[in-house]
């Protein structure tokens, strides 16, 4: 079978690239996954602990709210402890932006039009330039400017885009161009339409999100539809899945969206059936256990877990490791799409975990060896 599958290809929108700390956003850089802490930022220990969990889940960039002086006072310690770039979330008080920039923020999430006079905008831009900070403009349908609501009568795509362009102009007037923009809404149709309109109007990187999406299940569905639609259209350079759930869950869902579209390949991609009366083992509990036990795997690996032989062999041919249910508690294991050996039900879970870990180690070793060969040749 040919490895070239044009029906899987997504042509990304051409955007210019900016840097958020050491992480490139836009251009040809991988689409990054973000989340936001929900601990009091003034509690540096709790915030760093939460950041660590998000880093382990794979977060590329993490946002931290800075609503008061106590938060920006702790911000420097948090930045130094983090392994990924930290974005300072600023709403109305421009001095918090200045403090966060001086404390090491990689990016300031701020809407220039919300912080007051042109002189204040100029101060924030000077601080961002002096400290190498990017800026993320975050337009939200729930907090549109009063004049735009009066003009359009309600939040609509045109109002969100106009708001974004107004904020962009304030930065450009001060010769600042290291920015990315979001135009979020909790309504999927509104958000998608606004992003599509903005994508045609600007060349900067776009930060995707369906804001206030809901709980883990409902929010995942809404975010997958909205963010997935935009990514499929080639729009988006970084994303946050906004869930009423722990921040590390946002990261996991973000990566699952990207993996489903072939845009990122971090970790284990599980192909599993919904189960039925034909299943030779408890598929649902097995998959639940495997997902928990394999979260530490960062290497891209595909795993199929099918309860019977109806679709099992076909799916196993397309994955690195596969298992299909058989009779009498005896199940077939596939390696690289080929039948290899049987495993008993009571041994299956530990056996699959061991196979995935072994495969990950082999891939990592091969990648390291290839890198050393390339380096030696150079």
Please state, in angstroms and rounded to a whole number, the distance separating the CA atoms of residues 281 and 298: 27
Please state, in angstroms and rounded to a whole number, the distance separating the CA atoms of residues 352 and 286: 10
Specify the 3-state DSSP secondary structure of 362.
helix
Final residue of a domain: which of 260, 288, 318?
Answer: 260
* pLDDT > 50? residue 2: no
Assigned domain for 146 exists: yes
**Cβ atoms 188, 221 nearer than 8 A:** no
Does 316 lie in the same domain as 256? no
* pLDDT > 50? residue 1: no
For position 45, what pLDDT does the model report? 98
Does 256 lie in the same domain as 108? yes
Does 356 lie in the same domain as 299? yes
Kind of pairing, strands 32-36 and 18-20? unpaired
Average pLDDT of the residues in 337-360: 96
Assigned domain for 8 exists: no
DSSP secondary structure string, 63-123?
A: EEE--SHHHHHHHHHHHHH-SS-EEEE--S-HHHHHHHHHTT-SEEE--GGGS-SHHHHHH
* pLDDT > 70? residue 354: yes
CATH number of the structural domain spanning residue 28:
3.20.20.20
For position 92, what pLDDT does the model report? 81
* pLDDT > 50? residue 217: yes
Final residue of a domain: which of 260, 277, 297?
Answer: 260
Assigned domain for 2 exists: no
Q: What is the pLDDT of residues 125-136, one digit of tens each?
A: 999 999 999 999
Assigned domain for 4 exists: no
Q: What is the DSSP letter of 164?
A: H
**Cβ atoms 63, 109 nearer than 8 A:** yes
Does 286 lie in the same domain as 246? no
**Cβ atoms 39, 46 nearer than 8 A:** yes
Q: What is the pLDDT of residues 176-200, one digit of tens each?
A: 999 999 999 999 999 999 999 999 9
Does 146 lie in the same domain as 113? yes
Assigned domain for 159 exists: yes
> Whole-prediction pTM value?
0.91
Kind of pairing, strands 23-25 and 32-36? unpaired
Final residue of a domain: which of 260, 285, 303?
Answer: 260
For position 3, what pLDDT does the model report? 54
Total domains in the chain come to 2
* pLDDT > 60? residue 289: yes
CATH number of the structural domain spanning residue 325:
3.30.413.10
DSSP secondary structure string, 203-258?
A: -S-BEE--TT--SHHHHHHHHHHHHHHHHHTT--SEEE---SS-HHHHHHHHHHHH
Nearest Cα residue to 11 out of 259, 233, 255: 233
Which of the four pLDDT bands, split at 50, 70 and 90, describes residue 367? confident
Does 202 lie in the same domain as 76? yes
Read off φ and ψ for residue 138, nearest 5 degrees: -120, 90
Does 247 lie in the same domain as 163? yes
| 128's tokens | 């961002």
Assigned domain for 5 exists: no
Q: What is the pLDDT of residues 236-270, one digit of tens each?
A: 999 999 999 999 999 999 999 999 999 998 999 99
For position 8, what pLDDT does the model report? 75
For position 268, what pLDDT does the model report? 95
Nearest Cα residue to 228 out of 208, 252, 213: 208
Assigned domain for 161 exists: yes
Does 140 lie in the same domain as 174? yes
| Distance set, CA 175 to CA 14, 87, 358 (Å) | 22, 21, 52
Question: Residue 271: beta bridge partners?
Answer: 304
Please state, in angstroms and rounded to a whole number, the distance separating the CA atoms of residues 367 and 376: 14
Please state, in angstroms and rounded to a whole number, the distance separating the CA atoms of residues 207 and 11: 17
Does 273 lie in the same domain as 199? no
Q: What is the pLDDT of residues 24-80, one digit of tens each?
A: 999 999 999 999 999 999 999 999 999 999 999 999 999 999 999 999 999 999 999
Does 194 lie in the same domain as 278? no
Please state, in angstroms and rounded to a whole number, the distance separating the CA atoms of residues 136 and 124: 13
| Distance set, CA 220 to CA 58, 185, 240, 317, 378 (Å) | 17, 15, 11, 29, 45
Q: What is the DSSP letter of 144?
A: -
Does 280 lie in the same domain as 167? no
The domain of 165 spans 13-260
Assigned domain for 343 exists: yes
Please state, in angstroms and rounded to a whole number, the distance separating the CA atoms of residues 333 and 82: 41
Does 272 lie in the same domain as 209? no
């Amino acid at each position: 079978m040919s490895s070239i599958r044009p029906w899987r290809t997504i042509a990304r929108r051409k955007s210019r690239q900016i840097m958020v700390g050491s992480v490139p956003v836009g251009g040809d850089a991988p689409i990054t996954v973000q989340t936001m802490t929900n601990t009091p930022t003034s509690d540096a220990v709790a915030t760093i602990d939460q950041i660590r969990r998000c880093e382990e889940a794979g977060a590329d960039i993490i946002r931290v709210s800075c609503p008061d002086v106590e938060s920006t006072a702790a911000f420097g310690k948090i930045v130094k402890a983090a392994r990924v770039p930290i974005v300072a979330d600023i709403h109305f008080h421009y001095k918090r932006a200045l403090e966060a920039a001086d404390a090491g923020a990689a990016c300031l999430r701020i809407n220039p039009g919300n912080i007051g006079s042109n002189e204040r905008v100029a101060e924030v831009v000077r601080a961002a330039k002096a400290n190498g900070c990017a800026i993320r403009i975050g337009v939200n349908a729930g907090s549109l400017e009063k004049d735009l609501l009066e003009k359009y009568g309600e939040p609509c795509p045109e109002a969100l885009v106009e708001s974004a362009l107004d904020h962009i102009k304030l930065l450009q007037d001060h010769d600042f161009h290291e920015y990315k923009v979001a135009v979020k809404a909790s309504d999927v149709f509104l958000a998608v339409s606004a992003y599509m309109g903005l994508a045609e109007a600007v060349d900067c990187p776009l930060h995707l999100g369906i804001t206030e999406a809901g709980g883990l299940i409902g929010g995942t569905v809404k975010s997958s539809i909205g963010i997935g639609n935009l990514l499929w259209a080639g729009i988006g350079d970084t994303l946050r899945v906004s869930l009423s759930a722990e921040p590390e869950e946002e990261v996991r869902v973000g990566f699952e969206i990207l993996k489903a579209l072939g845009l990122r390949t971090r970790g284990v991609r599980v192909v599993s059936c919904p189960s039925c009366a034909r299943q030779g083992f408890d598929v649902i509990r097995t998959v639940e256990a495997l997902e928990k036990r394999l979260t530490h795997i960062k290497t891209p690996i595909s795993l199929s877990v099918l309860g019977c032989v109806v679709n099992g062999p076909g799916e196993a041919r397309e994955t690195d490791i596969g298992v299909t249910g058989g009779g009498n508690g005896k199940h077939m294991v596939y390696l690289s799409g080929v039948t290899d050996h049987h495993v008993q039900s009571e041994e299956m879970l530990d056996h699959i975990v061991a196979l995935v870990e072994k495969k990950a180690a082999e891939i990592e070793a091969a990648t390291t060896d290839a890198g050393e060969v390339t380096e030696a040749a150079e």
